[in-house]
Amino acid sequence: MKDLRIPARLNLCIAAAQLAAMLCMLWAAGRVTHWWAVALLALGYGVVMNSAYAMLHEAEHGILHPHRALNDLVGTVLALFFPAPFHLIRQGHIGHHIRNRSDDEAFDLYFEHESRFWKCVQLYGTLTGLFWVLIYITNLVVIFVPSLAVPARVNRTTDAFLDSLNPRYRRIIQVEAVAVVALHAGLIWVWHIPLAHYFAVMFGFGFMWSAMQYAHHYGTERDVLKGARNLRTFRLLDLVWLNHNWHRNHHSQPTVPWLYLPLLGESPGPRGSLLAAYCKMWNGPQPATEHVENRFAGKVIQ
């Protein structure tokens, strides 16, 4: 296999183009007057910001750029348009890699001692964009409660996430959250973006991103590395989303840059449809008896 070095210059050029496109669409949100135009901007922002998320996902794994400071800076800037603190969603994502398909992160399953209703809330909330809404609101929460401390245990998934957070990042997460609020408030004010237009455009991404978050894992093998599947959309869209749908390959080798994921093959079989995988999730969480413990429970993200 060819040298799998980080395509650093290409990544920086793509990130710059993504930022320019997102700024243009937010600017346009303050100029359009028809709802069909707002809907097109919402669709466009959804496609472009999902591409930007794929790039900041590279930063989460330290493979956007070989210089870590620049890697994190670009990831932080892209995360502002998510919008979310980069160092918070990075810990959440790295934690996802170590909790994947264990009882700590199995939204498609419920056990005898668990509430099926709560599992339905989690899964259907993801399918309808509410997962992104929760992250959006978290920007305000961490400004005042950077530790994200809660007075009692919430549920297994949330508890595992909170237990994995590294206290060393609390201050920078707080600063990033302030930057998120300041940036978006500033854009709304300077560009005179009607709030209805702003939230519609942002939710265009939020719904699309949230809806796809578990499609690559629903019903897969209960294994931290193998519990994912490669999916497909259209060839061009797959490329715009930086091969993010080669998800099984990414989980198997998370340090391989996006450019090379298709080269790892289609094991264990051909890719299925992303849309079909999304529709299948509406079957809801299923009863389960097999327990898979998180081998890294209590591990703090570095």
Whether 156 shows a pLDDT value over 90: the answer reads no
Task: In whole angstroms, give the CA distance from residue 107 to residue 171.
Answer: 30
Residues facing residue 231 across a β-bridge: 272
Encode pLDDT of 22-58 as tens digits. 999 999 999 999 999 999 999 999 999 999 999 999 9
User: Torsion over CA of 151, 153, 131 and 80, rounded to 10 degrees?
Assistant: 50
Percentage of the chain with pLDDT > 90? Answer: 86
Q: Token pair of 126, please?
A: 């993801």
Whether 266 shows a pLDDT value over 90: the answer reads no
Whether 226 shows a pLDDT value over 70: the answer reads yes
- pLDDT score for 247: 96
Give the single-character DSSP code of 250: H
Task: In whole angstroms, give the CA distance from residue 183 to residue 83.
Answer: 10
- pLDDT score for 153: 61
Encode pLDDT of 82-130 as tens digits. 999 999 999 999 999 999 999 999 999 999 888 899 999 999 999 999 9
- pLDDT score for 291: 93
Percentage of the chain with pLDDT > 70? Answer: 97
Q: Token pair of 99, please?
A: 């909790």
Task: In whole angstroms, give the CA distance from residue 210 to residue 203.
Answer: 10
Q: Examine residue 83 and say whether the peptide bond preceding it is cis (omega within 30 degrees of 0).
A: yes
Helix (H) or strand (E) holding 174: helix 170-190
DSSP secondary structure, 51-71, as one string: HHHHHHHHHHTT-S-SSHHHH
- pLDDT score for 154: 66
Report if pTM > 0.75: yes
- pLDDT score for 2: 60
Q: Phi and psi for 52 in degrees, rounded to 5? A: -65, -35
Task: In whole angstroms, give the CA distance from residue 99 to residue 297.
Answer: 8
Q: Phi and psi for 152 in degrees, rounded to 5? A: -150, 170
Whether 281 shows a pLDDT value over 80: the answer reads yes
- pLDDT score for 275: 97
Contact 248, 160 (CB under 8 A): no
3-state DSSP call for residue 118? helix
Amino acid at 147: S
CB atoms near residue 302 (< 10 Å): 8
Could you tell me which residues come within 8 angstroms of residue 194 by beta carbon, excluding any fewer than 6 positions away?
29, 30
Whether 174 shows a pLDDT value over 60: the answer reads yes
Q: Token pair of 149, please?
A: 């401390």
Average pLDDT, the chain: 94
